[in-house]
Structure 1
Amino acid sequence: MTRFAPLALIATLVTAPAFAEAKKYTLDASHSQIVFSYNHLGFSTSYGMFSGFNGEILFDQADPAASSVTVSFPVKTMLTGWQERFDHFMSADFFDAADEEMVTFTSTAIEVTGEKTAKITGDLSLNGVTKSVVLDAVMNQVGEHPMAKTPWAGFSATTTLIRSDYNLGQFAPYVSDEVQVQISIEAQKAAD
């Protein structure tokens, strides 16, 4: 019996990572942004941003496909750089947003595509409509934050949304129906 003990030990060590569990990280609201852009009448590209939002990542570094992410923020935290544009976006032409109206994203699957890349599929709820979207994601860095001295993670992602899918298609196609989305987030490991 004892001659099988080393084999049992090796088997245990080889399968140990499968029992690792995802660690909870909370978004660093001060260093997490969503930037969106769209073509305006062929003359320019207009930009907007959401910042200061809340979210949580359950991150399994050994098995990234077992990770998940949830994010939420009020529509009215949108930044456009011009008050009149913001007011128009919040009007009945677009969001007709109440103060408490939220944008949410909840991942449903993660497909690892490379050493630091993945496709994150999730449900995006925007303007009362929920649709599945795919984010092309990159893990920028994972390690100890040099100032906070705690575990930290950084990720980037991109996607393209069709605003008419969310009942926001006013003035399309003159104002592009496609909206390019760039996401950059930092997250800190939650206290155990």
Structure 2
Amino acid sequence: MKTFLLAAGFAAASTAAFAEAEKYTLDPSHSQIVFSYNHLGFSTTYGMFSGFGGEIMFDQDNPAASSVSVSMPVTSMITGWEARLGHFMSPDFFDANADEMVSFVSTGIEVTGDNTALITGDLTLNDVTKSVVLDAKLNQAMVHPMAGVPFAGFDATTELKRTDFDLGQFAPFVSDEVQVMISIEAQKAE
């Protein structure tokens, strides 16, 4: 789910003026991962991760050498309903403790357009690691009008299967497929 997406935006930013790889760190106050799934055909249910950290390294001369890494505690999930969150953290799903992390580490970038790219990476969720592809878009890269330092913003999407991560309880009645939408801001590191 992570993020996920960041390096692709940099890789696709052909107008950005970077001479070599530069480090950007996620702005946790403006970075979210929203996920949704079909609940028994009656509704679409949403959840979210926010306030997570990560970094992007971008190489203008060799965008395929760029990278992204993101991680967050699974217990930082937000569902909007305490009982549902408790169920997600139970043995039916994550059986999570405060130390369990969700992480994404990129393994490859394919630039697909002026502001788009596919980021392949290893997603670790529920102690299972699988390769996923994020369809990423650079929204903009410029000096932040309030912070006065370079920022970049990205959106990305992907679809995950719960059963791939040993989280398939109640599938297929509760959909196995989970839609993931990512939107982040990253600040150039000092």
TM-score (structure 2 length as normaliser): 0.89
Q: Could you list the runs of 5+ residues in structure 2 that have no partner in the other structure?
A: 1-17
Kindly indicate whether structure 1 or structure 2 has the higher relative contact order, using CA contacts under 8 Å at least 6 residues apart.
2
Aligned pair count? 173
> Which residues of 2 match residues 13-162 of structure 1 at below 5 A?
20-61=19-60, 63-162=62-161
Residue type at the aligned position of 1:132: S
1:179 counterpart residue number: 178
Q: Which amino acid aligns with 2:137?
A: V
- Output the CA distance in 2 between the equivalents of 1:60 and 1:141: 17
Distance in 2, matches of 1:180 and 1:63, equals 31
Would you say the 8 A contact 2:19–2:60 is kept in 1? no
Report the AA paired with residue 94 of structure 1. Answer: F
**Number of the residue aligned with 1:7:** none
TM-superposition CA deviations, 1:18-71 (whole Å, max 9, x none):
x93211000000000000000000000000000000100012345433311000
Secondary structure of 2:113 counterpart: coil
* Mapped contact 2:52–2:72 kept (Cα < 8 A): yes
Structure 1: 5+ residue runs without aligned partners? Answer: 1-18
Question: What is the rounded CA distance, in whole Å, between the counterparts of 1:67 and 1:95 in structure 2?
Answer: 31
- In structure 1, what is the Cα distance between the partners aligned to 2:120 and 2:52? 20
- Any idea what the Cα deviations from partners look like across 1:98-147, whole Å, max 9, x if unmatched? 11100000000000000000000000000010000000000110000000
Q: Which residue of 1 aligns with 2:187?
A: 188
Instruction: Point out the more displaced range, 63-72 or 160-169.
Output: 63-72
Q: CA RMSD in A?
A: 1.2
Question: How far, CA to CA, are the matches of 2:72 and 2:163 in structure 1?
Answer: 21
1:163 positional shift: 0.4
Q: Which amino acid aligns with 1:176?
A: S
TM-score (norm: length of structure 1): 0.88
* Percent of aligned positions that are identical: 74
| Separation (CA, whole Å) in 2 of partners of 1:56 and 1:91 | 30
Does the 8 Å contact 2:88/2:94 carry over to 1?
A: yes
**Distance in 2 separating the partners of 1:154 and 1:64:** 17
Cα displacement (A) at 1:177: 0.1
Which AA in structure 2 matches 1:51?
S
What is the CA–CA distance in structure 2 between the aligned matches of 1:59 and 1:157, rounded to whole Å? 17
* Deviation (angstroms), 1:178: 0.1
| Equivalent residue, structure 2, for 1:10 | none
